[in-house]
Structure 1
Amino acid sequence: MDAPSAPSVPRWTIRAPGADPGARTLYCLPHGGGSPAEYLRWARDLRKVAVCAVQLPGRGSRLAEPPHTSMAELVRTLLTALDPAPPYVLFGHSLGALVAYEFTQALRAAGRPLPERLILSGYPAPHLPRERTRLHLLPDRELLTEVARRHGGIPDEVLGNAELRRLAAVSVRADYRIVETYRWRPKPPLPVPITVLGGQQDVVSAEQLAAWAEHTTVRPVQQRTFPGGHFYFRERQRAAVLRTVEAAAC
Protein backbone atom coordinates (compact mmCIF):
# COMPACT_ATOMS: atom_id res chain seq x y z
CA MET A 1 0.00 0.00 0.00
CA ASP A 2 1.29 3.44 -0.84
CA ALA A 3 2.14 5.68 2.09
CA PRO A 4 -0.33 8.54 2.54
CA SER A 5 0.91 11.73 0.96
CA ALA A 6 1.72 14.65 3.24
CA PRO A 7 -0.82 17.46 3.17
CA SER A 8 0.21 20.30 0.90
CA VAL A 9 1.49 23.41 2.63
CA PRO A 10 0.10 26.66 1.23
CA ARG A 11 2.78 28.69 -0.50
CA TRP A 12 2.50 32.12 1.05
CA THR A 13 5.37 33.78 -0.79
CA ILE A 14 6.97 33.57 -4.21
CA ARG A 15 10.51 34.91 -4.44
CA ALA A 16 11.64 36.18 -7.83
CA PRO A 17 15.09 35.11 -9.02
CA GLY A 18 17.84 37.43 -10.19
CA ALA A 19 18.48 39.85 -7.32
CA ASP A 20 22.03 40.84 -6.43
CA PRO A 21 23.61 38.71 -3.68
CA GLY A 22 22.76 40.00 -0.21
CA ALA A 23 19.93 42.20 -1.50
CA ARG A 24 17.31 43.35 0.97
CA THR A 25 13.96 41.58 0.61
CA LEU A 26 10.99 43.58 -0.67
CA TYR A 27 7.78 41.83 0.39
CA CYS A 28 4.89 42.93 -1.84
CA LEU A 29 1.33 42.71 -0.54
CA PRO A 30 -1.30 42.66 -3.30
CA HIS A 31 -4.09 45.10 -4.03
CA GLY A 32 -7.73 44.03 -3.92
CA GLY A 33 -8.17 41.00 -6.18
CA GLY A 34 -4.46 41.13 -7.05
CA SER A 35 -1.98 38.30 -7.46
CA PRO A 36 1.82 37.92 -7.10
CA ALA A 37 2.36 38.13 -10.87
CA GLU A 38 1.92 41.92 -10.75
CA TYR A 39 5.01 42.32 -8.57
CA LEU A 40 7.11 39.40 -9.72
CA ARG A 41 7.37 41.16 -13.09
CA TRP A 42 9.09 44.03 -11.29
CA ALA A 43 12.07 41.80 -10.49
CA ARG A 44 13.43 42.22 -14.02
CA ASP A 45 14.09 45.89 -13.20
CA LEU A 46 14.74 45.72 -9.45
CA ARG A 47 18.14 44.10 -9.03
CA LYS A 48 19.15 45.78 -5.76
CA VAL A 49 16.23 44.22 -3.86
CA ALA A 50 14.90 40.66 -3.78
CA VAL A 51 11.22 40.80 -4.73
CA CYS A 52 9.11 38.40 -2.69
CA ALA A 53 5.39 38.52 -3.54
CA VAL A 54 2.82 37.44 -0.96
CA GLN A 55 0.30 34.91 -2.31
CA LEU A 56 -3.01 35.19 -0.46
CA PRO A 57 -5.63 32.41 -0.60
CA GLY A 58 -8.45 32.64 -3.11
CA ARG A 59 -6.34 33.69 -6.10
CA GLY A 60 -3.58 32.46 -8.38
CA SER A 61 -2.18 29.09 -7.37
CA ARG A 62 -4.38 29.20 -4.25
CA LEU A 63 -7.64 29.82 -6.08
CA ALA A 64 -9.31 26.77 -4.51
CA GLU A 65 -8.72 28.04 -0.96
CA PRO A 66 -11.31 30.28 0.71
CA PRO A 67 -10.10 33.89 0.91
CA HIS A 68 -9.94 35.88 4.10
CA THR A 69 -12.81 38.28 4.64
CA SER A 70 -11.70 40.36 7.65
CA MET A 71 -8.55 42.32 8.44
CA ALA A 72 -8.19 40.74 11.88
CA GLU A 73 -8.36 37.23 10.45
CA LEU A 74 -5.90 38.03 7.66
CA VAL A 75 -3.34 39.66 9.97
CA ARG A 76 -3.53 36.79 12.48
CA THR A 77 -2.85 34.34 9.67
CA LEU A 78 0.02 36.40 8.27
CA LEU A 79 1.65 36.48 11.70
CA THR A 80 1.65 32.69 11.69
CA ALA A 81 2.47 32.15 8.01
CA LEU A 82 5.16 34.79 7.45
CA ASP A 83 8.42 35.22 9.32
CA PRO A 84 10.25 37.95 7.39
CA ALA A 85 13.94 37.99 8.25
CA PRO A 86 15.67 41.37 8.58
CA PRO A 87 16.56 43.39 6.71
CA TYR A 88 13.33 43.64 4.77
CA VAL A 89 10.85 46.21 3.46
CA LEU A 90 7.07 45.95 3.03
CA PHE A 91 5.35 47.34 -0.07
CA GLY A 92 1.58 47.44 -0.35
CA HIS A 93 -0.70 48.98 -2.95
CA SER A 94 -4.31 49.91 -2.17
CA LEU A 95 -5.65 47.18 0.15
CA GLY A 96 -2.05 45.94 0.37
CA ALA A 97 -0.99 49.25 1.93
CA LEU A 98 -3.57 48.87 4.69
CA VAL A 99 -2.54 45.24 5.26
CA ALA A 100 1.15 46.27 5.41
CA TYR A 101 0.34 48.85 8.10
CA GLU A 102 -1.78 46.51 10.22
CA PHE A 103 0.70 43.65 9.81
CA THR A 104 3.54 45.91 11.00
CA GLN A 105 1.49 46.98 14.02
CA ALA A 106 0.88 43.29 14.81
CA LEU A 107 4.59 42.49 14.40
CA ARG A 108 5.42 45.21 16.92
CA ALA A 109 2.80 43.93 19.38
CA ALA A 110 4.28 40.43 19.05
CA GLY A 111 7.84 41.66 19.62
CA ARG A 112 8.93 40.56 16.14
CA PRO A 113 11.49 42.34 13.90
CA LEU A 114 9.99 45.29 12.05
CA PRO A 115 10.54 46.25 8.41
CA GLU A 116 13.24 48.76 7.54
CA ARG A 117 10.60 50.81 5.73
CA LEU A 118 6.95 50.78 4.68
CA ILE A 119 6.22 51.76 1.08
CA LEU A 120 2.50 52.52 0.97
CA SER A 121 0.74 53.16 -2.31
CA GLY A 122 -2.69 54.31 -3.40
CA TYR A 123 -4.56 54.17 -0.09
CA PRO A 124 -5.66 56.94 2.31
CA ALA A 125 -4.23 57.03 5.83
CA PRO A 126 -6.38 54.65 7.91
CA HIS A 127 -7.57 57.16 10.52
CA LEU A 128 -9.28 59.39 7.97
CA PRO A 129 -13.08 59.37 7.56
CA ARG A 130 -14.11 57.14 4.68
CA GLU A 131 -17.11 56.80 2.45
CA ARG A 132 -19.13 53.83 3.69
CA THR A 133 -19.79 51.54 0.74
CA ARG A 134 -21.17 48.01 0.43
CA LEU A 135 -19.76 46.90 -2.89
CA HIS A 136 -18.96 43.44 -1.55
CA LEU A 137 -22.72 42.72 -1.43
CA LEU A 138 -23.26 43.34 -5.16
CA PRO A 139 -23.73 40.51 -7.70
CA ASP A 140 -20.58 39.54 -9.60
CA ARG A 141 -21.16 41.64 -12.73
CA GLU A 142 -22.17 44.78 -10.81
CA LEU A 143 -19.30 44.36 -8.34
CA LEU A 144 -16.61 44.08 -11.00
CA THR A 145 -18.13 46.80 -13.18
CA GLU A 146 -18.18 49.26 -10.29
CA VAL A 147 -14.63 48.40 -9.20
CA ALA A 148 -13.45 48.88 -12.80
CA ARG A 149 -15.28 52.21 -13.01
CA ARG A 150 -13.68 53.49 -9.83
CA HIS A 151 -10.16 52.16 -10.16
CA GLY A 152 -9.68 50.34 -13.46
CA GLY A 153 -7.46 47.29 -13.43
CA ILE A 154 -10.07 44.71 -14.55
CA PRO A 155 -9.62 43.65 -18.19
CA ASP A 156 -12.60 43.89 -20.55
CA GLU A 157 -12.29 40.17 -21.35
CA VAL A 158 -13.00 39.41 -17.68
CA LEU A 159 -15.98 41.74 -17.53
CA GLY A 160 -17.40 40.20 -20.69
CA ASN A 161 -17.11 36.53 -19.74
CA ALA A 162 -19.40 34.99 -17.12
CA GLU A 163 -16.94 32.30 -15.99
CA LEU A 164 -14.02 34.74 -15.72
CA ARG A 165 -16.26 37.14 -13.81
CA ARG A 166 -17.19 34.38 -11.38
CA LEU A 167 -13.55 33.50 -10.75
CA ALA A 168 -12.39 37.11 -10.42
CA ALA A 169 -15.26 38.10 -8.15
CA VAL A 170 -14.22 35.62 -5.44
CA SER A 171 -11.09 37.49 -4.37
CA VAL A 172 -12.39 40.96 -5.27
CA ARG A 173 -15.50 40.44 -3.14
CA ALA A 174 -13.50 39.11 -0.19
CA ASP A 175 -10.98 41.96 -0.38
CA TYR A 176 -13.69 44.61 -0.60
CA ARG A 177 -15.38 43.07 2.40
CA ILE A 178 -12.09 43.49 4.29
CA VAL A 179 -11.89 47.15 3.27
CA GLU A 180 -15.56 47.94 3.83
CA THR A 181 -15.77 46.32 7.27
CA TYR A 182 -12.39 47.65 8.47
CA ARG A 183 -12.47 50.00 11.42
CA TRP A 184 -9.25 51.72 12.45
CA ARG A 185 -8.38 51.49 16.14
CA PRO A 186 -5.91 54.09 17.45
CA LYS A 187 -2.39 52.75 17.91
CA PRO A 188 0.91 54.52 18.60
CA PRO A 189 2.82 55.64 15.51
CA LEU A 190 5.33 53.13 14.20
CA PRO A 191 9.09 53.63 14.60
CA VAL A 192 9.44 52.81 10.90
CA PRO A 193 10.16 55.19 8.00
CA ILE A 194 7.32 55.54 5.50
CA THR A 195 7.34 56.29 1.79
CA VAL A 196 3.94 57.13 0.29
CA LEU A 197 3.20 56.84 -3.43
CA GLY A 198 0.15 57.57 -5.55
CA GLY A 199 -1.32 58.53 -8.90
CA GLN A 200 -2.08 62.15 -9.66
CA GLN A 201 -5.43 61.26 -11.25
CA ASP A 202 -6.40 58.68 -8.62
CA VAL A 203 -9.45 59.17 -6.41
CA VAL A 204 -7.03 59.03 -3.46
CA SER A 205 -5.86 62.62 -3.00
CA ALA A 206 -2.37 63.88 -2.18
CA GLU A 207 -3.75 65.12 1.16
CA GLN A 208 -5.08 61.67 2.03
CA LEU A 209 -1.68 60.19 1.22
CA ALA A 210 0.16 62.86 3.24
CA ALA A 211 -1.91 61.96 6.32
CA TRP A 212 0.11 58.71 6.62
CA ALA A 213 2.71 60.91 8.35
CA GLU A 214 0.65 60.59 11.53
CA HIS A 215 1.48 56.88 11.67
CA THR A 216 5.26 57.10 11.94
CA THR A 217 7.67 58.70 14.39
CA VAL A 218 10.37 58.96 11.71
CA ARG A 219 10.82 62.17 9.76
CA PRO A 220 10.81 63.14 6.99
CA VAL A 221 8.04 61.11 5.37
CA GLN A 222 8.75 60.67 1.69
CA GLN A 223 5.82 61.28 -0.65
CA ARG A 224 5.68 61.20 -4.43
CA THR A 225 2.88 61.10 -6.96
CA PHE A 226 3.08 60.09 -10.61
CA PRO A 227 0.92 60.83 -13.65
CA GLY A 228 -1.86 58.26 -13.88
CA GLY A 229 -4.76 56.77 -12.00
CA HIS A 230 -5.05 54.13 -9.33
CA PHE A 231 -2.70 51.77 -11.18
CA TYR A 232 -0.24 54.51 -12.11
CA PHE A 233 2.68 52.03 -11.93
CA ARG A 234 1.31 50.19 -14.98
CA GLU A 235 1.37 53.33 -17.07
CA ARG A 236 3.98 55.41 -18.86
CA GLN A 237 5.88 56.25 -15.66
CA ARG A 238 6.58 52.60 -14.80
CA ALA A 239 10.37 52.96 -14.95
CA ALA A 240 10.33 56.07 -12.74
CA VAL A 241 8.03 54.34 -10.24
CA LEU A 242 10.32 51.33 -9.99
CA ARG A 243 13.39 53.53 -9.52
CA THR A 244 11.57 55.25 -6.66
CA VAL A 245 10.55 51.94 -5.07
CA GLU A 246 14.09 50.57 -5.33
CA ALA A 247 15.65 53.72 -3.87
CA ALA A 248 13.19 53.67 -0.95
CA ALA A 249 13.77 49.96 -0.30
CA CYS A 250 17.55 50.33 -0.30
Structure 2
Amino acid sequence: MADTDPKGPRERPGHTGADREAGAAWLACRQRRPEATARMYCFPHSGGSPGEYLRWSDGLPGLELWGVNLPGRGRRMSEEPYRRLEDLVGAIADAVDFRPPFALFGHSLGAVVAFEVARALRDRGGPEPRALLLSSYQAPHLPRTDPDVHGLPDEQLLPIVERQYGELSTALRDDPDFRQFTLAYHRADFEMIETYRYAEGRPLSVPLTVVGGTEDYPKEALEAWGRHTTGPFSVRLFPGDHFYLRAQREGLLRLITSTLTPRPAAPVPSPQRVA
Protein backbone atom coordinates (compact mmCIF):
# COMPACT_ATOMS: atom_id res chain seq x y z
CA MET A 1 0.00 0.00 0.00
CA ALA A 2 1.04 3.61 -0.37
CA ASP A 3 2.31 3.94 3.20
CA THR A 4 4.92 1.25 2.64
CA ASP A 5 5.81 2.24 -0.93
CA PRO A 6 9.64 2.07 -1.17
CA LYS A 7 9.49 5.22 -3.25
CA GLY A 8 7.87 7.05 -0.38
CA PRO A 9 4.32 8.16 0.32
CA ARG A 10 2.29 9.46 -2.58
CA GLU A 11 1.03 12.99 -2.51
CA ARG A 12 -2.47 13.87 -3.59
CA PRO A 13 -2.74 17.04 -5.67
CA GLY A 14 -2.02 20.14 -3.63
CA HIS A 15 -0.62 18.21 -0.66
CA THR A 16 2.92 18.92 0.50
CA GLY A 17 5.27 17.25 2.94
CA ALA A 18 3.99 19.58 5.65
CA ASP A 19 0.44 18.43 4.90
CA ARG A 20 1.48 14.79 5.29
CA GLU A 21 3.16 15.58 8.62
CA ALA A 22 -0.02 17.27 9.85
CA GLY A 23 -2.12 14.34 8.63
CA ALA A 24 0.11 11.83 10.43
CA ALA A 25 -0.78 13.39 13.79
CA TRP A 26 -4.39 12.37 13.20
CA LEU A 27 -3.74 8.70 12.46
CA ALA A 28 -2.45 5.60 14.25
CA CYS A 29 -1.92 2.14 12.80
CA ARG A 30 -1.01 -0.94 14.81
CA GLN A 31 -0.20 -3.24 11.90
CA ARG A 32 0.56 -2.20 8.33
CA ARG A 33 -0.82 -4.59 5.71
CA PRO A 34 0.25 -3.76 2.16
CA GLU A 35 -1.73 -6.76 0.89
CA ALA A 36 -5.01 -5.71 2.56
CA THR A 37 -8.11 -5.45 0.41
CA ALA A 38 -9.04 -2.11 2.04
CA ARG A 39 -8.27 0.30 4.84
CA MET A 40 -10.78 1.05 7.57
CA TYR A 41 -10.53 4.36 9.44
CA CYS A 42 -12.07 4.21 12.93
CA PHE A 43 -13.53 7.23 14.71
CA PRO A 44 -13.75 6.80 18.52
CA HIS A 45 -16.65 7.50 20.85
CA SER A 46 -16.72 10.57 23.10
CA GLY A 47 -13.90 10.43 25.60
CA GLY A 48 -12.43 7.48 23.71
CA SER A 49 -9.17 6.75 21.97
CA PRO A 50 -8.39 4.81 18.78
CA GLY A 51 -6.58 2.09 20.74
CA GLU A 52 -9.78 0.15 21.42
CA TYR A 53 -10.46 -0.15 17.70
CA LEU A 54 -6.88 -0.81 16.64
CA ARG A 55 -6.94 -3.91 18.84
CA TRP A 56 -9.44 -5.36 16.37
CA SER A 57 -6.60 -5.71 13.88
CA ASP A 58 -5.90 -9.36 14.76
CA GLY A 59 -9.54 -10.23 14.10
CA LEU A 60 -9.64 -8.40 10.77
CA PRO A 61 -6.64 -9.86 8.90
CA GLY A 62 -7.92 -8.72 5.50
CA LEU A 63 -8.03 -5.04 6.48
CA GLU A 64 -5.53 -2.37 7.43
CA LEU A 65 -6.97 -0.52 10.44
CA TRP A 66 -6.32 3.13 11.12
CA GLY A 67 -7.51 4.93 14.22
CA VAL A 68 -8.26 8.64 14.22
CA ASN A 69 -6.48 10.55 17.03
CA LEU A 70 -8.44 13.51 18.30
CA PRO A 71 -6.66 16.47 19.91
CA GLY A 72 -6.69 16.81 23.69
CA ARG A 73 -5.93 13.20 24.63
CA GLY A 74 -3.35 10.46 24.16
CA ARG A 75 -0.32 11.56 22.20
CA ARG A 76 -2.12 14.84 21.40
CA MET A 77 -2.86 15.70 25.01
CA SER A 78 -1.03 19.03 24.78
CA GLU A 79 -3.45 20.27 22.10
CA GLU A 80 -6.79 21.94 22.70
CA PRO A 81 -9.75 19.63 22.02
CA TYR A 82 -12.37 20.63 19.48
CA ARG A 83 -15.71 21.86 20.80
CA ARG A 84 -17.64 22.13 17.53
CA LEU A 85 -18.15 19.10 15.37
CA GLU A 86 -18.10 21.03 12.10
CA ASP A 87 -14.65 22.40 12.98
CA LEU A 88 -13.36 18.91 13.75
CA VAL A 89 -14.75 17.50 10.50
CA GLY A 90 -13.20 20.32 8.47
CA ALA A 91 -9.81 19.77 10.10
CA ILE A 92 -9.91 16.03 9.41
CA ALA A 93 -10.97 16.51 5.80
CA ASP A 94 -8.17 19.06 5.34
CA ALA A 95 -5.40 17.00 6.92
CA VAL A 96 -6.06 13.29 6.40
CA ASP A 97 -5.23 11.64 3.09
CA PHE A 98 -7.84 8.89 2.92
CA ARG A 99 -6.39 6.27 0.58
CA PRO A 100 -8.88 4.22 -1.48
CA PRO A 101 -10.21 1.68 -1.22
CA PHE A 102 -11.32 2.50 2.31
CA ALA A 103 -14.24 2.34 4.71
CA LEU A 104 -15.19 4.54 7.65
CA PHE A 105 -16.31 3.14 11.01
CA GLY A 106 -17.55 5.32 13.85
CA HIS A 107 -19.02 4.55 17.26
CA SER A 108 -21.36 6.97 19.10
CA LEU A 109 -19.89 10.47 18.64
CA GLY A 110 -17.55 8.83 16.12
CA ALA A 111 -20.54 7.71 14.04
CA VAL A 112 -21.61 11.31 13.49
CA VAL A 113 -18.02 12.40 12.78
CA ALA A 114 -17.54 9.57 10.25
CA PHE A 115 -20.82 10.44 8.55
CA GLU A 116 -19.97 14.14 8.29
CA VAL A 117 -16.43 13.36 7.08
CA ALA A 118 -17.95 11.22 4.31
CA ARG A 119 -20.21 14.14 3.34
CA ALA A 120 -17.30 16.59 3.43
CA LEU A 121 -15.16 14.37 1.20
CA ARG A 122 -18.03 14.03 -1.26
CA ASP A 123 -18.73 17.75 -1.30
CA ARG A 124 -15.05 18.56 -1.87
CA GLY A 125 -14.77 16.10 -4.75
CA GLY A 126 -12.47 13.87 -2.70
CA PRO A 127 -12.33 10.09 -2.45
CA GLU A 128 -15.46 8.43 -1.11
CA PRO A 129 -15.53 5.36 1.14
CA ARG A 130 -16.38 1.92 -0.15
CA ALA A 131 -18.71 1.61 2.83
CA LEU A 132 -19.81 3.49 5.91
CA LEU A 133 -20.35 1.57 9.17
CA LEU A 134 -21.99 3.57 11.94
CA SER A 135 -22.50 2.29 15.46
CA SER A 136 -24.64 3.30 18.45
CA TYR A 137 -26.06 6.62 17.37
CA GLN A 138 -29.45 7.66 16.10
CA ALA A 139 -29.97 9.20 12.64
CA PRO A 140 -28.55 12.73 12.69
CA HIS A 141 -31.77 14.51 11.68
CA LEU A 142 -33.62 13.20 14.75
CA PRO A 143 -33.79 15.50 17.80
CA ARG A 144 -31.66 14.64 20.81
CA THR A 145 -33.61 13.80 23.94
CA ASP A 146 -30.71 13.51 26.42
CA PRO A 147 -30.09 16.54 28.64
CA ASP A 148 -27.01 18.63 27.92
CA VAL A 149 -24.21 18.03 30.40
CA HIS A 150 -21.17 19.81 28.98
CA GLY A 151 -21.84 22.94 31.07
CA LEU A 152 -22.05 21.13 34.40
CA PRO A 153 -19.40 21.80 37.07
CA ASP A 154 -16.70 19.18 37.45
CA GLU A 155 -18.22 17.59 40.56
CA GLN A 156 -21.46 16.90 38.66
CA LEU A 157 -19.83 15.90 35.39
CA LEU A 158 -17.43 13.35 36.91
CA PRO A 159 -20.16 10.90 38.05
CA ILE A 160 -21.74 11.06 34.59
CA VAL A 161 -18.43 10.23 32.95
CA GLU A 162 -17.86 7.36 35.38
CA ARG A 163 -21.35 5.94 34.82
CA GLN A 164 -20.82 5.90 31.09
CA TYR A 165 -17.18 4.89 30.84
CA GLY A 166 -16.25 3.24 34.13
CA GLU A 167 -15.05 4.48 37.47
CA LEU A 168 -11.64 6.01 37.94
CA SER A 169 -9.41 4.49 40.56
CA THR A 170 -9.33 6.33 43.88
CA ALA A 171 -5.76 7.46 43.23
CA LEU A 172 -6.67 8.97 39.86
CA ARG A 173 -9.93 10.50 41.10
CA ASP A 174 -8.04 12.20 43.92
CA ASP A 175 -5.36 13.57 41.58
CA PRO A 176 -6.64 17.06 40.68
CA ASP A 177 -4.44 17.43 37.59
CA PHE A 178 -5.48 14.08 36.12
CA ARG A 179 -9.12 14.66 36.98
CA GLN A 180 -9.10 18.07 35.32
CA PHE A 181 -7.35 16.70 32.22
CA THR A 182 -9.80 13.80 31.90
CA LEU A 183 -12.87 15.96 32.34
CA ALA A 184 -11.58 18.55 29.85
CA TYR A 185 -11.71 16.29 26.81
CA HIS A 186 -14.90 14.54 27.93
CA ARG A 187 -16.53 17.94 28.35
CA ALA A 188 -15.35 19.02 24.89
CA ASP A 189 -16.71 15.85 23.30
CA PHE A 190 -20.07 16.27 25.04
CA GLU A 191 -20.17 19.86 23.81
CA MET A 192 -19.48 18.75 20.24
CA ILE A 193 -22.40 16.34 20.11
CA GLU A 194 -24.75 18.54 22.14
CA THR A 195 -24.25 21.56 19.88
CA TYR A 196 -24.27 19.57 16.61
CA ARG A 197 -27.11 20.35 14.25
CA TYR A 198 -27.59 18.32 11.12
CA ALA A 199 -27.64 20.45 7.94
CA GLU A 200 -29.86 19.12 5.18
CA GLY A 201 -28.01 18.02 2.07
CA ARG A 202 -27.89 15.43 -0.66
CA PRO A 203 -27.83 11.85 0.60
CA LEU A 204 -24.65 9.87 0.19
CA SER A 205 -24.51 7.11 -2.41
CA VAL A 206 -22.28 4.69 -0.49
CA PRO A 207 -23.40 1.46 1.21
CA LEU A 208 -24.41 2.26 4.78
CA THR A 209 -24.55 -0.27 7.61
CA VAL A 210 -25.86 0.83 11.01
CA VAL A 211 -25.16 -1.28 14.08
CA GLY A 212 -26.44 -1.00 17.64
CA GLY A 213 -27.22 -2.74 20.90
CA THR A 214 -30.70 -4.05 21.69
CA GLU A 215 -30.73 -2.09 24.97
CA ASP A 216 -29.61 1.23 23.50
CA TYR A 217 -31.34 3.31 20.81
CA PRO A 218 -34.73 2.11 19.51
CA LYS A 219 -34.43 0.24 16.23
CA GLU A 220 -36.56 2.91 14.53
CA ALA A 221 -33.97 5.57 15.40
CA LEU A 222 -31.29 3.49 13.69
CA GLU A 223 -33.46 2.64 10.69
CA ALA A 224 -33.98 6.36 10.17
CA TRP A 225 -30.37 6.51 8.87
CA GLY A 226 -31.73 4.99 5.66
CA ARG A 227 -32.70 8.41 4.28
CA HIS A 228 -29.04 9.46 4.26
CA THR A 229 -27.89 7.18 1.44
CA THR A 230 -29.16 6.09 -1.94
CA GLY A 231 -26.91 3.05 -1.74
CA PRO A 232 -27.54 -0.28 -0.01
CA PHE A 233 -28.68 0.14 3.59
CA SER A 234 -28.99 -2.29 6.50
CA VAL A 235 -29.38 -2.29 10.28
CA ARG A 236 -27.95 -4.98 12.55
CA LEU A 237 -28.64 -5.29 16.28
CA PHE A 238 -26.48 -7.17 18.78
CA PRO A 239 -27.43 -8.03 22.35
CA GLY A 240 -26.22 -5.33 24.72
CA ASP A 241 -26.16 -1.64 25.55
CA HIS A 242 -24.34 1.38 24.13
CA PHE A 243 -21.05 -0.50 24.32
CA TYR A 244 -22.39 -3.79 22.96
CA LEU A 245 -19.29 -3.98 20.75
CA ARG A 246 -17.11 -5.05 23.67
CA ALA A 247 -19.09 -8.18 24.59
CA GLN A 248 -20.09 -8.80 20.96
CA ARG A 249 -16.68 -8.18 19.45
CA GLU A 250 -16.45 -11.42 17.44
CA GLY A 251 -19.90 -10.99 15.92
CA LEU A 252 -19.20 -7.37 15.01
CA LEU A 253 -15.88 -8.24 13.39
CA ARG A 254 -17.59 -10.95 11.33
CA LEU A 255 -20.12 -8.36 10.19
CA ILE A 256 -17.34 -5.92 9.25
CA THR A 257 -15.50 -8.64 7.35
CA SER A 258 -18.57 -9.71 5.39
CA THR A 259 -19.48 -6.08 4.64
CA LEU A 260 -16.04 -5.14 3.32
CA THR A 261 -15.02 -8.38 1.59
CA PRO A 262 -15.35 -7.95 -2.17
CA ARG A 263 -17.92 -10.29 -3.65
CA PRO A 264 -16.63 -12.51 -6.46
CA ALA A 265 -18.11 -11.65 -9.80
CA ALA A 266 -20.86 -13.97 -10.93
CA PRO A 267 -19.72 -16.33 -13.70
CA VAL A 268 -20.82 -15.36 -17.17
CA PRO A 269 -22.87 -18.19 -18.69
CA SER A 270 -21.40 -19.77 -21.81
CA PRO A 271 -23.33 -19.08 -24.97
CA GLN A 272 -25.56 -21.95 -25.95
CA ARG A 273 -24.73 -23.66 -29.19
CA VAL A 274 -27.63 -23.92 -31.55
CA ALA A 275 -27.77 -27.12 -33.53
TM surpasses 0.5:
yes
**Among 42, 47, 67, the residue aligned to 2:61:** 47
**Among 194, 213, 233, the residue aligned to 1:199:** 213
Structure-1 residue corresponding to 2:266: none
Instruction: Note the aligned Cα RMSD (angstroms).
Output: 1.9
Matching residue's letter, 1:225: L
Structure-2 residue corresponding to 1:3: none
| Residue 256 of structure 2 is aligned to residue 218 of structure 1 | no
| Residue 263 of structure 2 is aligned to residue 249 of structure 1 | no
User: When the two structures are aligned, how many residues end up with a matched partner?
Assistant: 239
Matching residue's letter, 2:234: Q
Matching residue's letter, 2:239: P
**Among 18, 26, 41, the residue aligned to 1:12:** 26
Query: Within 2, Cα distance between the matches of 1:197 and 1:161?
Result: 37
Matching residue's letter, 2:225: W
Shift of 1:81: 1.1
Q: How does 1:160-239 map to 2 (within 5 A)?
A: 160-163=173-176, 164-202=178-216, 204-219=217-232, 221-235=233-247, 237-239=248-250
Structure 1: gaps of 5 or more residues: 1-5
* Residues 1:144 and 1:198: Cα distance change in structure 2 (over 3 Å): farther
TM-score, normalisation: structure 1? 0.89
Q: How does 1:24-173 map to 2 (within 5 A)?
A: 24-131=38-145, 133-149=147-163, 152-157=164-169, 160-163=173-176, 164-173=178-187
Decide whether the 8 Å contact of 2:162 with 2:168 is kept in 1.
no
Provide, for residues 42-78 of structure 1, a one-character-per-residue CA deviation record: whole Å limited to 9, x for no partner. 1121101111001111011111110111011111101
Q: Please list every run of at least 4 consecutive aligned residues from structure 1 whose deviation after the TM superposition is greater than 6 angstroms.
A: none
Decide whether the 8 Å contact of 1:199 with 1:232 is kept in 2.
yes
Decide whether the 8 Å contact of 1:153 with 1:231 is kept in 2.
no
TM-score, normalisation: structure 2? 0.81
Structure whose CA Rg is larger: 2
Query: Within 2, Cα distance between the matches of 1:171 and 1:148?
Result: 14
Percent of paired sites with the same residue: 43
Structure 2: gaps of 5 or more residues: 1-17, 262-275
* Residues 1:69 and 1:86: Cα distance change in structure 2 (over 3 Å): same
Matching residue's letter, 1:185: A
Matching residue's letter, 1:176: F
Matching residue's letter, 2:148: R
Q: Which has the higher contact order (CA 8 A, sep 6+)?
A: 1
